[in-house]
Structure 1
Amino acid sequence: MAISPTPTHLFLLSLFTLSLFLSIPTAESESDLVADLLALQSESKSGVIHLDDRTIAKFLTSPQTPRPYSLFIFFDATQLHDKSELHLPELRREFALVASSFITNHNYSNTKLFFADVEFRESQSSFQLFGVNSLPHIRLVGPNAKSLKDDSEQMDQSDFSRLSESMAEFVESRTKLTVAPLHRPPILSKTQMGLIVALLLISAPFVAKKIFSGETFLHDPNIWLSGAIFVYFFSVSGAMHNIIRKMPMFLLDRNDPSKLIFFYQGSGMQLGAEGFAVGFLYTVVGLLLAIVTHILVHVKNAKAKRAVMISAICVSFWAVQKVILLDNWKTGYRVHGFWPSSRN
């Protein structure tokens, strides 16, 4: 027995057909977006996709949420690469390291997370859209983020000191995806290592002959003396602090960019130049002390001894006074004289 369709059945059938028709382009659109991101990713050596205002609108603002992917974005400004205190080129390299490691660890088949960068001159509107007003700045845009400023997650600038490790931990904690291990490129290539080994093998007999005959530079006392002075200067000048903290040698004066600041007033920061200046003063005092205790004692002329001793005392007093004055100017602390009272 045939069933004649009623108007209600026709309406439901038409609604179902329309919804099915509309759902097909949406799925194709999402797959097209992922395919475009994979294509852009493959064109980059590090896997970092370069975005601008147009592509940000295409991949972030135009698609409906939830999007089938997340974007981890590094905000850059090439005109600020010469600002050593920002460390933008170094952070950009570390960001690229995280991206390439993530892609490698997922066998180039990941479609859930993409790494991208945005340059200020090309995408000023996007910087405003994200509310970025200072650099360095890294932000993760999740699939459900509607407002790029309010719904995306910014990486804390205090974490930048650990570089790629902090970036990887941030991504893993927010996306539940595995980033590690990080694949850092070797310092020397295989070709360079081969050349070094070949040179060592060729020079080994000649070096051994020099060592046994005592004719190497390591047998020269002056080399060891120079090395000891360098180690002393390196220790007292804060050079290790500058290397670990990546402190600049100087800063540009904000009020007058043509001027350089070598001494920063404030105990929370020390520039490389002021550390080297204090280290030089300490080294002068140490060398004078070494001259008095190791060389001057062999001089037989009493007047010469007296003149050198007085000069060493005056120069040492001047150097120590300069260090104390600089410390007082920098920290506000004063050094007071202390005379012990007599015992009762």
Structure 2
Amino acid sequence: MRVLSLLSLLVLLGSCAAASERATKLVARQAASKDGIIVFSINDFEEFAAAKGRDYHLMFFLNAHYMAKNADMNLPKLRQEYALAAQAFKRGPHPNEAFFIELVYERSKDVFQRLGVQQLPFVFHWGPDAVVREGRSIKVAKSSECGPSIKAYPWPAEELLRCATGNTGLAGGEVDRPSALKHPLFPVALLAFIVVGGYAGWLAYNSPFVKITPLWALGALAVYWFATSGGMYNIIRGMPIYYRGQNGKLVWWMEGRSGQLGAEGFVMGSSYLFFSSTLASLTYVVPRIRSSAARGIASLVLVLLAAFTAMRILSTYSNKSGINMRTFFSFYH
């Protein structure tokens, strides 16, 4: 009986020593990481996540490099938020009791398959009591997943940290987002910007270059063209200028009401600008022509160009919206 008790004690001590050794390795790898995230391979997963007798928590972020350019998932940005959460937890009172891990599909396909991952992103908690059976699928409890309950995306570091602290029961630190305002040289840079900017503004104000009226006119036309082309809408919504069709050819214009590309907006903005320019020319340019015959011809040409442009604009509007407008140009339809 004493022999069995002694053997059990030795096994327990050996298990504790092994667990302590694994935790020490994780602490060292965490310290060597620039952003506080430890990248696991398949062997690392077996050693640190599948081993029994663990006394630490693991947070997993599943990533795939081949999906890095997917704008909807925005995995690089999400990884940055995950790194901020990892750094915040490290600043807390329990930095060596939970570790933030990244599993990359290209290096850990077998683990992804055993986890049954159907889609990314996938962030979850893996506690000391979680069990991995060799060769079998790995079940992750729904309560251990982070993300489904978070409304904002990419998931903010604050929410990921809240998920980690909630699952581990360990407190973390505050999320410290990098900002130029926190840099110690920011006051100096701000003062230099004010001085240099003020001096540059004074030089520009007294420069004859900025008093050239045509430049201001061209600038106003550029702003008008950009605004009527939906330039800001394209930037805010991430509207593509074009896309490549199934046959490999570039598509700049989508027919009918199926959608709209950024290039279409710039075509219409250019049409508005051209139409406005013809009317402005009738008002300000034609009266300066001395020859009455030339004035008549120029007026006729400008009116025809304006009418043709207006008809094209109305036709495009009807084609895109499905609304047939009854106007002076209805004969065109």
Question: Normalising to structure 1: TM-score of the pair?
Answer: 0.71
1:74/1:139 contact within 8 Å kept: yes
**Closer, same or farther in 2 for the Cα pair 1:264/1:195, shift >3 Å?**
same
Are the structure 2 counterparts of residues 166 and 222 from structure 1 closer, same or farther at C-alpha, using a change threshold of 3 Å?
Answer: farther
CA 1:29–1:142: 2 relative to 1, 3 Å: same
Q: Which runs of 5+ in 1 are unaligned?
A: 1-10, 329-333, 340-344
1:188 is displaced (CA, Å) by: 9.9
Instruction: Name the SS of the counterpart of 1:35 in structure 2.
Output: helix
Equivalent residue letter for 2:39: H
* Alpha carbons of structure 1 residues 183 and 285: separation in structure 2 relative to 1, 3 Å: same
Provide the residue aligned with 1:60 in structure 2: 49
Q: Identify if the C-alpha distance between structure 1 residues 115 and 222 changes in structure 2 by more than 3 Å, giving closer, same or farther.
A: farther
Give the Cα–Cα distance (whole angstroms) in 2 for the partners of residues 153 and 182 of structure 1. 24
**Which residue of structure 2 aligns with residue 7 of structure 1?**
none
CA change 1:163–1:90 in 2 (3 A) is: same
Q: From 77, 100, 109, give the equivalent of 1:90.
A: 77
Counterpart in the other structure of 2:305: 311
The partner residue of 1:335 within 317, 323, 328 is 323
1:153 pairs with 2:145: yes
Aligned length: 310
Kept in 2, the 8 Å contact 1:75–1:135? The answer is yes
Deviations 1:151-170 (A, max 9, x none): 24253396434544543454
1:262 deviation in Å? Answer: 5.7
Give the C-alpha shift of residue 119 in structure 1.
1.7
CA distance in 1, matches of 2:256, 2:158: 30
SS of 1:121 mapped into structure 2: coil
SS at match of 2:52: coil
Matching of residues 41-120 of structure 1 within 5 Å: 41-64=30-53, 67-103=54-90, 105-106=91-92, 109-120=94-105
Amino acid of the structure 2 residue aligned with 1:171: A
1:40 alignment partner, one of 26, 29, 33: 29
- Structure 2 letter corresponding to 1:312: A
Looking at structure 2, the residues matched to 245 and 175 of structure 1 have their Cα atoms a distance apart, in angstroms, of: 38
1:250–1:202 Cα change, 3 Å: closer
Query: When the two structures are superposed, what TM-score results if normalisation uses the length of structure 2?
Result: 0.73
Q: 2:138 matched to 1:132?
A: no
Give the % identical residues. Answer: 23
Change (3 A) 1:166 1:102: same
Q: How far, CA to CA, are the matches of 1:181 and 1:124 in structure 2?
A: 32
Which residue identity lines up with residue 32 of structure 2 in the other structure? E
Whole-angstrom CA distance in 2 between matches of 1:207 and 1:199 = 12
SS at match of 2:180: coil
In the alignment, is residue 281 of structure 1 matched against residue 267 of structure 2? yes
Deviations 1:135-183 (A, max 9, x none): 3333332344336433242533964345445434543554454454332
Shift of 1:18: 3.9
Residue 124 of structure 1 aligns with an amino acid whose one-letter code is: K
Q: Structure 1 residues 194 and 48 mapped into 2: Cα distance closer, same or farther (>3 Å)?
A: same
Deviations 1:263-292 (A, max 9, x none): 689999x7xxx4422321332243234324
RMSD (Å), alpha carbons? 3.9
Cα 1:198–1:124, aligned 2, differ >3 Å: closer, same or farther? same
The alpha-carbon distance between structure 1 residues 223 and 51, as it changes in their structure 2 partners (threshold 3 A), is: farther
Counterpart of 2:331 in structure 1 is none
**Does the Cα contact within 8 Å between 2:239 and 2:261 map onto a contact in 1?**
no
Alpha-carbon distance, 1:15 to partner: 5.0
> 1 CA distance for matches of 2:236 and 2:92?
32
Q: Distance in 2 between matches of 1:221 and 1:138?
A: 58
Q: How does 1:167-178 map to 2 (within 5 A)?
A: 167-175=160-168, 177-178=171-172
Q: 1:149 corresponds to which letter in structure 2?
A: K
Greater Cα offset, 68-77 or 190-199: 190-199
Aligned equivalents of 1:190, 1:225: Cα separation in 2? 43
Instruction: Quote how far apart the aligned CAs of 1:226 are.
Output: 4.5
In structure 1, which of residues 166, 184, 200 is the aligned counterpart of residue 178 of structure 2?
A: 184
8 A Cα contact 1:97 1:184, kept in partner: no
Q: Which runs of 5+ in 2 are unaligned?
A: 133-137, 288-294, 328-333
Is the 8 Å Cα contact of residues 141 and 153 (structure 1) preserved in structure 2? Answer: no
Q: Alpha carbons of 1:336 and 1:61: their partners in 2 closer, same or farther (altered >3 Å)?
A: same
CA-to-partner distance for each residue in 1:21-55, whole Å, 9 max, x for gaps? 33222322322222211111001010110101011
One-letter amino acid matched to 1:296: L
Q: Residues of 2 paired with 1:118 and 1:266: CA distance? A: 45
Contact in 2 for aligned 1:168/1:180 (Cα 8 Å) = no
CA 1:236/1:203 → structure 2, altered by over 3 Å: closer, same or farther? closer
Residues 225-283 of structure 1: per-residue CA shift (max 9 Å, x gap): 45444544554555545544555555566x66x55566689999x7xxx4422321332
